[in-house]
Amino acid sequence: MKFATTVIIGAGQSGLAMSRHLTDRSIDHVIIERGEVANSWQTERWDSLRLLTPNWQSRLPGYAYNGDDPDGFMSMPEVVRFLQRYAKVSDAPVETGTRVMNVRQRDGGYEVLTNQGQWHCRTLVIASGSCNIAATPSLSAALPRKVMSLTPLQYRNPDRLPDGGVMIVGASASGIQLAREIQASGRRVVLSVGEHVRMPRAYRGRDIQWWMDAIGAMDVRYDAMEDIERARRLPSLQLVGTPERVTVDLNSLRKAGVELVGRLVGLRDGKAHFSGSLANFCALADLKMHRLLASIDEWVRSSGRNDAFPVPQRYEPTAVDPQAKLSLDLNDGISTLIWATGYRPDYSWLDVPVLDRKGRIRHDGGVVPAPGMYVMGLPFMRRRKSSFIDGAGDDAADLAVHLSLSLTRAAA
Ligand SMILES: Cc1cc2nc3c(=O)[nH]c(=O)nc-3n(C[C@H](O)[C@H](O)[C@H](O)COP(=O)(O)OP(=O)(O)OC[C@H]3O[C@@H](n4cnc5c(N)ncnc54)[C@H](O)[C@@H]3O)c2cc1C
């Protein structure tokens, strides 16, 4: 059995940022990674994906993007290189090709069983990702066998799909990006739309992420939220990172030929049934987007910078076809269904009673209710930006302080 004061599970941005902070505090540790550094970005994303956060926003402790395209959006090979370089310059102690099979409490710490042997540690950081498994609704079990069922974690490009039309369920970042790409490849695409967050790529001459950063929206803390559970469940922003900086929303998809339908509520006898709430969801998303834009305008006005930016803009409401289908016979040319219905973490290896009845890890801003155990990278975990590359640094800094104090206390 090997020993480290801290074992970090996962060498994505979360694990690497935590490692950097532990190194700065001279806390000996190891990062256990089942693949290579940045494994999720390398093996679980589709071919054309680019970050939806601009390059300047790829900031990690002691390291940041310093290329010549700060406003561009990294492709997946670029993200992988970015994180692998970070691991190298940080001299991060990563054990690659090592899968954690079981974690349990032992001797006041944790025993971590891997396919390469056992570790014992006093403190444990779970940085194994929040998007390990595609969250598909239970009704997916009723999909007819002849329709191929895929998740965004399995999808690679349109050429790999069987001939025929594609229905995509979910219109957040993944869903709208796949709808755009598959439609552009010449296929019929039906997009089932539930709750979503509409967002322009740019506003008043700046990227929307620049505004969110400037007005402090990404730094809002979890303990300042009235309903943090709801905030954690909110869908991702309808954004895509492209060299042309295009806005992709339901209006642009509809113009491109994507057929919009309501939220999928049932699959029966080969037919998909949709709720009649499409217009409501769209109206709500329009309202919320304009509310955010109004708060940006207010920030500009109150900071006396009105002349520094172009005048405020408002956008066309989302156009909804009053005849939008309430059901669709999947035999009518649909050969693939993609569940862009969100993601969830995998804790199947965690043998410590810290999961709630829905299988979610219990935590208070990343501090898990088990001595010396922490989690990282979950949506709105400590801050709105917690699950983003740009959020890993601040969360790791806070949790490293907590972890260090817990070691001091245990030693005393
Ligand atoms: C489609 C998509 C697009 C995204 N786009 C952006 C974006 O544009 N900008 C942005 O900031 N964020 C984006 N994110 C969100 C987030 O940044 C990524 O999900 C990111 O990968 C999370 O980093 P992480 O370090 O927390 O987890 P991960 O990158 O998932 O790292 C976890 C690591 O743990 C390893 N691991 C898991 N289980 C085990 C085990 N049992 N044993 C050993 N190792 C294990 C995995 O192999 C992986 O390397 C996106 C997410 C998705 C799904």
Amino acid identity for residue 263 in this structure: R
Token reading at 299? 């920030």
State whether the beta carbon of 315 lies less than 6 angstroms from ligand 1: no
State whether the beta carbon of 151 lies less than 6 angstroms from ligand 1: no
User: Average pLDDT of 128-156?
Assistant: 96
Which mutation among 7, 128, 361 tests ligand 1's pocket best, with the greatest number of atoms within 8 A of CB? 128
pTM above 0.95, yes or no: yes
* Residue 411 predicted with pLDDT over 90: no
Report how far residue 152's alpha carbon sits from residue 129's, in angstroms, rounded to the nearest whole number: 16
**Cβ-count burial 109-137 (b if 16+ within 10 Å, e if not):** bbbbbbeeeebebbbbbbbbbbbbebebe
Report how far residue 242's alpha carbon sits from residue 47's, in angstroms, rounded to the nearest whole number: 13
Phi, psi of 212 (to 5 degrees): -60, -35
How far is C-alpha 386 from the chain's CA centre?
Answer: 10
163-197 tens-digit pLDDT: 999 999 999 999 999 999 999 999 999 999 999 99
Phi, psi of 138 (to 5 degrees): -65, -25
* Residue 342 predicted with pLDDT over 90: yes
133-145 tens-digit pLDDT: 999 999 999 999 9
* Residue 412 predicted with pLDDT over 90: no
10-52 tens-digit pLDDT: 999 999 999 999 999 999 999 999 999 999 999 999 999 999 9
pLDDT (0 to 100) of residue 19 = 98
In order of 75, 138, 150, 261, 327, the CA distances from 190 in angstroms are: 26, 20, 15, 7, 11
Which atom belonging to ligand 1 lies closest to the Cα atom of 35? Answer: 47
Report how far residue 333's alpha carbon sits from residue 208's, in angstroms, rounded to the nearest whole number: 38
Token reading at 290? 């304009």
Report how far residue 305's alpha carbon sits from residue 300's, in angstroms, rounded to the nearest whole number: 5
CA 320–ligand 1 middle distance (angstroms): 34
User: Average pLDDT of 199-228?
Assistant: 97
Going by C-alpha positions, the residue among 341, 347, 338, 165 that lies closest to residue 257 is: 165
Token reading at 263? 């939220």
State whether the beta carbon of 9 lies less than 6 angstroms from ligand 1: yes
State whether the beta carbon of 35 lies less than 6 angstroms from ligand 1: yes
Amino acid identity for residue 139 in this structure: L
Which atom belonging to ligand 1 lies closest to the Cα atom of 174? Answer: 1
Token reading at 154? 């399995």
Amino acid identity for residue 286 in this structure: D
Q: Which residue has the higher pLDDT, 322 or 123?
A: 123
State whether the beta carbon of 51 lies less than 6 angstroms from ligand 1: yes
CA 107–ligand 1 middle distance (angstroms): 31
Report how far residue 110's alpha carbon sits from residue 105's, in angstroms, rounded to the nearest whole number: 4
In order of 86, 88, 125, 189, the CA distances from 129 in angstroms are: 18, 21, 11, 30
The three-point CA angle 240-88-112 to 5° equals 90
Residue bearing tokens 């950081």: 125
State whether the beta carbon of 99 lies less than 6 angstroms from ligand 1: yes
State whether the beta carbon of 384 lies less than 6 angstroms from ligand 1: no
Amino acid identity for residue 374 in this structure: Y
pLDDT (0 to 100) of residue 410 = 87
- Banded pLDDT at 66 (limits 50, 70, 90): very high
Q: How many CB atoms lie within 10 A of CB 223?
A: 9
pLDDT (0 to 100) of residue 387 = 98
76-112 tens-digit pLDDT: 999 999 999 999 999 999 999 999 999 999 999 999 9
Which mutation among 36, 119, 350, 389 tests ligand 1's pocket best, with the greatest number of atoms within 8 A of CB? 389
State whether the beta carbon of 13 lies less than 6 angstroms from ligand 1: yes
CA 41–ligand 1 middle distance (angstroms): 7
User: Average pLDDT of 212-223?
Assistant: 97
Amino acid identity for residue 372 in this structure: G
SS3 15: helix
Q: How many CB atoms lie within 10 A of CB 82?
A: 22
273-314 tens-digit pLDDT: 999 999 999 999 999 999 999 999 999 999 999 999 999 999
pLDDT (0 to 100) of residue 222 = 98
Report how far residue 123's alpha carbon sits from residue 375's, in angstroms, rounded to the nearest whole number: 11
* Residue 259 predicted with pLDDT over 90: yes
379-410 tens-digit pLDDT: 999 999 999 999 999 999 999 999 999 999 98
Report how far residue 295's alpha carbon sits from residue 309's, in angstroms, rounded to the nearest whole number: 15
Beta carbons of 155 and 46 less than 8 angstroms apart: yes
Ligand 1, atom 31: nearest CA belongs to which residue? 12
Beta carbons of 23 and 142 less than 8 angstroms apart: no
Which mutation among 388, 390, 394 tests ligand 1's pocket best, with the greatest number of atoms within 8 A of CB? 388
State whether the beta carbon of 177 lies less than 6 angstroms from ligand 1: no
